[in-house]
Amino acid sequence: MAAPAESTNGHASNGHRVNTRSGRNGSHQYQLSESDLITDDRTNDDIFETEISEEVYGQNYQYGTDDRVPDTWYRNARAMAQVEDDTDMWTQRFYQLLSGKGLGTGPFPFTPGGRIFANAGTGLGKATLINCFVSGFQGHDQDSMDEIQAELTRQAKILASEGGYGFCAHIMRPRGARIGGVGSMTPGAVQMLDVWNKQAATIVAGSGMKSDRDDVKDKIRKGAQMVTMGIWHPDIIEFIEAKQEPGRLHKFNMSVLITDEFMEAVKNDDTWALRFPDYENEKEFYKQHWDGNLKAYQEKGGTVKTWTDPATGEPAVYEAREIWNRIMDSTYNRNEPGVIFVDTINKENNLGYVEHINATNPCGEQVLPVGGVCLLGNLNVTQLVDREAGTIDYDLVDDLVPLAVRFLDNVNDLSYVPLEEQQRNLQEKRRIGLGHYGDGSALMMMKTRYGSEEGARVMREFQEHLANQAYQASARLAEEKGAFPLFDKDEYLSSPFVQRLSDKTKEMIGDLGLRNSHLLSIQPTGNTSTLGNAPSSGIEPVFMHSYIRTSEQPALPDGINRPPMSPNAYEVGQDIDADGTAWTAEEQGDETVLRCQEEGHTHWQIHPTRDICKDQEVKDYAVRHMETDGTWDPDADWAVTTRDLDVDDHLTQMKALAPFVDSSMSKTVNVPNDYPFEDFKELYKKAHDTGVIKGVTTYRAGTMSAVLSGEDDGDDDRTVPRTEAPDRPETLPCAIHRVRYQGDHWTILVGFLEDHPYEVFAFKSEGEAPLFGDDSERVDEGYIRKNESRHYSLLGPNGTVVIGDITSHMPSDDVRVETRLVSTALRHGSKIDFLVEQLEKAEGSIASFGQSMAKALRAHATDHEVTCDKCGSANVRHVEGCMECADCGHSRCS
């Protein structure tokens, strides 16, 4: 049987939505027969409008016998219908929700979270359908080694199930606190995070192997992590600055829990004491009652004391603005830590009467208690736009939301979770996180500027409508299936969030109860939105109208033949014929890559270090569709992208949505590189003053990135933003190092740009002979010149050529690649001490070279702020491969 007729459903011949509807009768319900469902004969070519969308599907969600997207839709729909009395009917309804078939939309009007779409119906019993987990210390004596080890076990189980992990570290005693029984001092909460980081890196690394088995995934879930710490904790300064050391805690996002009291102290320029419970003088009370909630601990009768710094014997009291400035400075320059307004979270929490929250999932859209879990799903707003009317079709929204709420609620009954307390949370609270993506693209389709007063009004109206419809749907589910067990009508209805809902919604909650304690969140949807034919991600603006995406590929496609030699063997500009495939060698930075063009805008590369890559143009969903119908105007005021927006535009959009999001929002505020620091600080204060925004994440253009997060929906497909390396002048001064390591003699050249190491070359020396003749002529400085041929020459101090082509003297491809990588790191600002530590770990055939290059670079490390992590001394040395402070004895490897 054929797919539904185009004339009825507003589809073009390829199945893509044209949508010329001007509205529908809200009482009309679209339904499919079982035969229609089974005979959805659309292929992936019919469904996907971009190559990247199909690639994301194949790499992340296709499993087993899924040949095409309709198979995956059916697998999901059938799985979620298993808990219903009429399985066939709900399979059909859920299939409509996922596919758009019969709804008058294109594909993907609703997309479940990545874990659901990938794992539902696969039979993989221990692959979770839950995206978001918050764990933490539990039970009696939470600040103990036994409980720390127990939490590490919980972390391992969550990551192994492909979930994202969040927890709060401030239960642990500060650095220097006495450990009873052994009489030693604890390394502190921040130092302990290295254990979590190492375990995470190992668990999510996978095998590095591919399998041809249908029941083995080619791509594993890279579990992301979030760690939080209260602004009152004595280790908070160390926490704030932890990731200023490149590579440290790279498996974590980090956020500071900011209280209203602290923000008031900043406003009034008051002092701020760092505090911790008196664990030594009330040991049993501490073991019984300390759970990280400082206020509750005091209310129970516990003593909280201003911390005394063990190193100085002085009370840990700071100017509040000094701590705030440290947070802001780190965030301004490195985009971490994030800021979470913890009091706002707990005041706004629907379940404030039974739980306390001090952590979030890795992307921040779910604020959860210890043991808390939440699943995710998203409406695709581009499929809800009535293009002819220039508005959102609320009749369609009202059809989809009850289906989406029911679909997601069923996940609570079907998902595996690795821990008992998580199972209790699933059943007792039944959280779901219904969000949306494509906001920026949808506003373009409605010719409304993102961040404008009208743009904010449109999306606030949509979010308020969505919230009320979702809560009403949950109330009807409670009438049918029962309310969540912790529902208390009087307590629940008094929450500030519920009070903002409509009178009708509150009346339904009071009369019928509620199936789900929380229903709404805004997730980043990196992979999800790409899957849905590449509209904008989450509630973000359109990033760019079009861009070139480079992705590594496992192999060249049929018909594209590989040249016989590596890219380094060809001259820039050289044309190569590889059995009929035309390649061209071109310069890319300081490397030579080979490129060929397939059809259209797709280019293939052979890269010297990344091997096979593909470049392809990706256009935003709105741009593609508006170009097709002749309504696209790239210069229109409404055609804005991230780079066109002011900081206040982002904040305006957040303020519009936040009052009607019961969990939280994952939203990045993009800040220009030259944005004034004082204005940057003011942005955070404005967000706090709204009373409803629960946290802020910023990215200032051209600065270092936060940890890259692999959480999808959280499947935010974020990557580390790239810094721009300064251009290389034709000639650079260089230092010449002669290093002997295990019998090998190496010459290491370190080139400098304005006194900063910029590049490295290395080659073996002939015996112990000096580079410039006999010892009387030996010099330690020279110049490196880049010639028009892209060869590099070594010049002596007087400008004479000593080596015409440095790279020809390098003994192997391994050495050439390694020096290029180190040079690239130097040009993009990596610290010398970090590079030295990595090189000293070199093994195998490049061990001699790596150790030699480390020795040469170490000579320049003192010029690059190598200081002790503990005491700040610059008297730092290398001992057995580790940085050690000669003043206080602290070692990074201890």
Q: 3-class secondary structure for 30-73?
A: CCCCHHHHHCCCCCHHHHCCCHHHHHHHHHHCCCCCCCCHHHHH
In the three-class reduction of DSSP (H, G, I as helix; E, B as strand; rest coil), residue 472 is classed as helix
Measured distance CA(127)–CA(64) in Å, rounded: 14
Measured distance CA(480)–CA(181) in Å, rounded: 56
Binned at pLDDT 50, 70 and 90, residue 791 comes out as confident
Report, as an integer, the average pLDDT of 521-541.
Answer: 93
Backbone angles phi, psi at 3, to 5 degrees: -65, 165
Beta bridge partners of 254: 227
Nearest to 367 by CA among 395, 345, 334: 345
Nearest to 518 by CA among 688, 361, 341: 361
Nearest to 873 by CA among 859, 860, 858, 883: 883
Report, as an integer, the average pLDDT of 766-787.
Answer: 65
Dig out the tokens for 96 from the structure.
């409509």
Position 23 scores a pLDDT of: 33
Beta bridge partners of 575: 584
- Name which of 77-86, 112-121, 793-802 the model is least confident about: 793-802
Report, as an integer, the average pLDDT of 266-275.
Answer: 97
Measured distance CA(730)–CA(751) in Å, rounded: 12
Which helix or strand (DSSP H or E) is residue 95 part of? helix 87-99
Measured distance CA(136)–CA(139) in Å, rounded: 10
Position 100 scores a pLDDT of: 93
Position 720 scores a pLDDT of: 46
- Name which of 11-25, 458-472, 621-635, 849-863 the model is least confident about: 11-25
Nearest to 282 by CA among 430, 94, 143: 143
pLDDT tens, residue by residue, 301-338: 999 999 998 888 999 999 999 999 999 999 998 888 99
Report, as an integer, the average pLDDT of 391-419.
Answer: 95
Binned at pLDDT 50, 70 and 90, residue 148 comes out as very high
Measured distance CA(255)–CA(227) in Å, rounded: 7
User: Sheet containing 801-803: which strands, arranged edge to edge?
Assistant: 756-764, 744-753, 731-741, 781-786, 792-795, 801-803
- Does pLDDT of 857 surpass 80? yes
Position 800 scores a pLDDT of: 86
Which helix or strand (DSSP H or E) is residue 406 part of? helix 394-414
List CB contacts of 40: < 8 A, sequence separation 6 or more.
Answer: 3, 70, 73, 95, 99, 101
Pairing of strands 372-380, 110-112: antiparallel
Binned at pLDDT 50, 70 and 90, residue 751 comes out as very high
Nearest to 386 by CA among 397, 378, 401: 397
- Does pLDDT of 749 surpass 80? yes
Binned at pLDDT 50, 70 and 90, residue 216 comes out as low
726-731 CB contacts, 8 Å cutoff, 24+ apart: 726/753, 726/758, 726/827, 728/590, 728/753, 728/758, 728/759, 728/786, 729/753, 730/785, 730/786, 731/783, 731/784, 731/785, 731/786, 731/795
- Name which of 198-212, 437-451, 566-580 the model is least confident about: 198-212
Measured distance CA(342)–CA(320) in Å, rounded: 17
- Does pLDDT of 70 surpass 60? yes
Report, as an integer, the average pLDDT of 157-168.
Answer: 86
Measured distance CA(279)–CA(229) in Å, rounded: 18
Output the DSSP codes for 356-380.
---EE-TTSS-EE-TTEEEEEEEEE
- Does pLDDT of 780 surpass 50? yes
Measured distance CA(604)–CA(585) in Å, rounded: 12
What distance lies between CA 655 and its chain's CA centroid?
A: 22
Q: What is the pTM of this model?
A: 0.76
Give the number of other CB atoms < 10 A from CB of residue 788: 6
Buried b (16+ CB within 10 A) or exposed e, 53-79: bbbbbeebbbbbebebbbebbbbbbbb
Task: Please answer whether residues 480 and 473 qualify as being in contact, where contact means their C-beta atoms are separated by less than 8 angstroms.
Answer: no
Q: CATH says 50-260+335-545+620-722 is which class?
A: alpha beta
Q: How far, in Å, are 15, 17, 99, 708 from residue 102 at the CA level?
A: 12, 12, 9, 39
Q: Match 């590594």 to its residue by tokens.
A: 552
Binned at pLDDT 50, 70 and 90, residue 202 comes out as confident
Measured distance CA(572)–CA(585) in Å, rounded: 5
Distance, first Cα to last Cα, the chain: 69
Report, as an integer, the average pLDDT of 100-118.
Answer: 93
Measured distance CA(670)–CA(640) in Å, rounded: 14
Report, as an integer, the average pLDDT of 673-681.
Answer: 92
- What torsion, rounded to 10 degrees, do the Cα atoms 532, 533, 536, 542 define? -170
List CB contacts of 90: < 8 A, sequence separation 6 or more.
Answer: 77, 80, 81, 84, 406
- Does pLDDT of 825 surpass 60? yes
Task: Please answer whether residues 602 and 615 qualify as being in contact, where contact means their C-beta atoms are separated by less than 8 angstroms.
Answer: yes
Dig out the tokens for 571 from the structure.
């001259």
What angle do the packed helices 260-268 and 677-689 form, to 10 degrees?
130
Position 547 scores a pLDDT of: 81
Position 1 scores a pLDDT of: 25
**Radius of gyration, alpha carbons of the chain:** 29
Dig out the tokens for 544 from the structure.
């760019």
Measured distance CA(802)–CA(399) in Å, rounded: 77
Q: Is 893 exposed, middle or buried (0-12, 13-18, 19+ CB in 10 A)?
A: exposed
Angle at 727 between CA 721 and CA 733, to 5 degrees: 125
Q: How far, in Å, are 809, 826, 830, 849, 852 from residue 819 at the CA level?
A: 13, 10, 14, 10, 12
Q: What percentage of the chain exceeds 70 in pLDDT?
A: 83
- Name which of 146-155, 217-226, 808-817 the model is least confident about: 217-226
Position 215 scores a pLDDT of: 53
Dig out the tokens for 810 from the structure.
């390098």
Q: How far, in Å, are 3, 8, 54 from residue 14 at the CA level?
A: 11, 15, 15
Task: Please answer whether residues 683 and 697 qualify as being in contact, where contact means their C-beta atoms are separated by less than 8 angstroms.
Answer: no
Longest dimension (CA), the chain: 97
- Does pLDDT of 404 surpass 70? yes
Measured distance CA(134)–CA(369) in Å, rounded: 7
Report, as an integer, the average pLDDT of 290-311.
Answer: 94
- Name which of 92-106, 388-402, 490-504, 539-553 the model is least confident about: 539-553
- Name which of 37-46, 102-111, 634-643 the model is least confident about: 37-46
Q: In whole numbers, what is the pLDDT of the chain averaged over residues?
A: 84
Position 31 scores a pLDDT of: 42
